Amino acid sequence: MAAPGEEEDVMARYRSPLVSRYASAEMGYNFSERKKFGTWRRLWLYLAQAEKSLGLPITDEQIQEMEANLDNIDFKMAAEEEKKLRHDVMAHVHTFAHCCPKAAAIIHLGATSCYVGDNTDLIVLRDGLNLLLPKLARVISRLADFAEKYADMPTLGFTHYQPAQLTTVGKRCCLWIQDLCMDLQSLERARDDLRFRGVKGTTGTQASFLQLFEGDHSKVEELDRLVTAKAGFKRAYMVTGQTYSRKVDIGVLSVLASLGASIHKICTDIRLLANLKEIEEPFEKDQIGSSAMPYKRNPMRSERCCSLARHLMTLVMDPLQTASVQWFERTLDDSANRRVCLAEAFLTADIVLSTLQNISEGLVVYPKVIERRIQQELPFMATENIIMAMVKAGGNRQDCHEKIRVLSQQAAAVVKQEGGDNDLIARVRADPYFSPIHKQLESLLDPSSFTGRAPQQVAKFLKEEVRPALIPYQSKMGGKIDLAL
C-alpha cells in the first residue's frame, strides 16, 4: 500500500496480464470487485423485497433506501471492516448498513454468507458465458466466410503430417468450424443448465427462513422462487448444502477447457501452414517478427492462442480437486481456489476468442505455394489414374504397374537424394509405352479431380449446420477486431 498522501505506483506491483494486457473490458468488469459487491447489494435488496411481499415487517422506506445505495460502495470502509472482522460478507453488511441506517436492521435477514457469495458466482458465470457465446459465434462466422471463399481450392492433405490425398482449403477450415460449433453448443448448454442457489440457509435446510415465517413452508418456497426470478434465473437448485454443488464449476470449466483444446488445434494448424508458407495470420505493416532476424514473420497471434489455451485446459483440474474434497455440507478450502480459477478461465477464454477472431479476419492464402506443393506430390497420387487410363487404352494392368513403379522410384530418388523436383510425369511423357495416354495426362493431373466431394461438403455443412447455429447471434456479429498487442 502507498504511504499516506502518496499515490500508489501501479507499475511497482504485480498485475495479472490476463487483465492488464489481454482481456476485454467487459470480461474484466464481470469479475471485478465493483460487479461482485454491487451484485451482493442487489441480492440483499431482492431478499428484502421478497420478504416484505410475504409479510415480514419491512417498510417501503427501508427498500427505497437500499435501492438508492446499490452502487454507493465505500470500498475503503469495507476493506477496513474486513481487516477488523476477518469476514468479507459481514464487512460489506456493515458498509451497506452505514449508508442505509434505516434498513440496517433487515439487511441479510435470515441469510448466510453463501446467499450473496454463491448466488453472485452463479450470476457471474451466467453473464460470463453470455459474453463468450457471441464472441465464439463471430469466430465461427468469420471462418465460415473463409471456408466458403476457398471451398474449391485444392490443397495437399496431411495424415501423420505426411502428404496424403488432396482436400480443399475450405474443407480443412470446416474441420476447425465443426469443433467450434460443438463448443458453441456446449457453452449454450452450460449456460442454460445453470440454476440459482436461492435462499437455502446455513446448511441448505432453509431453517432460518422457516423460523422467520413461523413454520409456513409455502412462504419459504415462495421466497426462494421470488428471489430466483428477481436474479434472472428460471430455476433454483432444489437441494444444496451451504453452497451449491461444486460439480457445477466442473461443468462450466470443462466446456471452457474443451474450447481451449479446439483453439489450440486450430492455431497449431495455422502455425504449421505458416511454416509451409501456404497460409499466414495477419502481419501488420510495422510489425517486427524478430529482434535479431528482420525477415521473420512469426505467427505470434496463433502462438499466443496456443500458449493461453494450454493454461485454459489445465484450469479444470482446480474444480475437480475442489469438488472432491468438500466435506459434508461444505468446507472453506474451496474459496481462495475458486477466486482464482473461475475468473482466470473466463478471462483466458475471452482472450483466445478475441485473438482468434483477429486471426480469422485476416488470414492470407498463397495459392501459388499451395499449387507448387500439390505438383510435388500429385504425380505419385495420379499413378492409379494413369494405370486405369492405360488399361482402358488396351494396356496390361500388371505391365503398366511395373513400369509406373520403376519410374516412381526413379523420381523419388531425384526428390530425396538430389533435392530436385518430382519429374515422374516428365518420365511418363518420355516413355513410348505410355504414348496412348500422353494427351490425357493434363486432365488426369487436374487437382480438382482429386478432392472428391470436398466442395459439396463445405456448401452443405455451412448451409445446414453452421449458418443456422449463428442465427441467435446475428445482431452481435459486429465489426473487425483490432488487437492492442
The overall average pLDDT reported for the chain is 93
**Contact 361/481 with Cβ under 8 angstroms?**
yes
pLDDT digits (tens, 9 = 90+) for 250-309: 999 999 999 999 999 999 999 999 999 999 998 765 555 555 555 557 899 999 999 999
* CA distance linking residue 77 with residue 328, whole number of Å: 35
How confident is the model at residue 1, as a pLDDT?
47
Distances (CA, A) of 377 to 163, 267, 346: 7, 25, 44
User: Do 69 and 197 fall within a single domain?
Assistant: no
Percent of the chain with pLDDT over 90: 86
pLDDT digits (tens, 9 = 90+) for 299-344: 999 999 999 999 999 999 999 999 999 999 999 999 999 999 999 9
List the one residue out of 43, 98, 108, 128 whose CA is nearest residue 344.
128
How confident is the model at residue 141, as a pLDDT?
97
User: Do 93 and 177 fall within a single domain?
Assistant: no
User: Do 200 and 70 fall within a single domain?
Assistant: no
User: pTM of this prediction?
Assistant: 0.91
**Residue 236: is its pLDDT beyond 60?**
yes
User: Do 199 and 79 fall within a single domain?
Assistant: no
Percent of the chain with pLDDT over 70: 95
Strand partners, 365: 279
Kindly report the backbone phi and psi dihedral angles of residue 155, in degrees, each rounded to the nearest multiple of 5, phi listed first. -150, 155
How confident is the model at residue 117, as a pLDDT?
97
User: Do 376 and 345 fall within a single domain?
Assistant: no
Q: Catalytic positions, please?
A: 160, 290
Q: Which residues form the domain of 161?
A: 113-282+297-365
How confident is the model at residue 206, as a pLDDT?
97
Transcribe 304-336 into DSSP letters. Answer: HHHHHHHHHHHTTHHHHHHHHT--TT--GGGHH
User: Do 65 and 83 fall within a single domain?
Assistant: yes
Q: How many DSSP H helices and E strands does the chain contain?
A: 21, 4
How confident is the model at residue 4, as a pLDDT?
52
User: Do 62 and 198 fall within a single domain?
Assistant: no
Distances (CA, A) of 74 to 38, 78, 98, 257: 11, 6, 9, 37
Helix/strand/coil for 154 = strand
DSSP secondary structure code for residue 79 in this structure: H
User: Do 205 and 129 fall within a single domain?
Assistant: yes
Tell me which residue has cell 497460409: 279
Query: What amino acid is encoded at 156 in this protein?
Result: L
Helix/strand/coil for 166 = strand
Count of residues for the chain? 485
Q: How far is CA 378 from its chain centroid? A: 37
Query: Last residue of some domain: 439, 454, 478?
Result: 439
Assigned domain for 31 exists: yes
36: domain CATH number? 1.10.275.10
Total domain count for the chain?
Answer: 3
Print burial letters for 56-85: b (CB count within 10 Å at least 16), e (below 16): bebeeebbebbeebbeebeeeebeebbeee
**Residue 348: is its pLDDT beyond 70?**
yes
* CA distance linking residue 379 with residue 434, whole number of Å: 14
User: Do 127 and 66 fall within a single domain?
Assistant: no
**Residue 173: is its pLDDT beyond 90?**
yes
Q: How far is CA 367 from its chain centroid? A: 30
User: Do 166 and 203 fall within a single domain?
Assistant: yes
Assigned domain for 474 exists: no
* CA distance linking residue 245 with residue 329, whole number of Å: 9
Assigned domain for 9 exists: no
**Contact 51/58 with Cβ under 8 angstroms?**
yes
Kindly report the backbone phi and psi dihedral angles of residue 378, in degrees, each rounded to the nearest multiple of 5, phi listed first. -60, -40
Kindly report the backbone phi and psi dihedral angles of residue 106, in degrees, each rounded to the nearest multiple of 5, phi listed first. -115, 0
List helix spans (H) across 69-110.
75-85, 88-99
Question: All 3 cell numbers of residue 240?
Answer: 444444496
Query: Last residue of some domain: 365, 387, 402?
Result: 365
Transcribe 334-358 into DSSP letters. Answer: GHHHHHHHHHHHHHHHHHHHHHHHH
User: Do 123 and 34 fall within a single domain?
Assistant: no
Assigned domain for 14 exists: no
How confident is the model at residue 267, as a pLDDT?
98
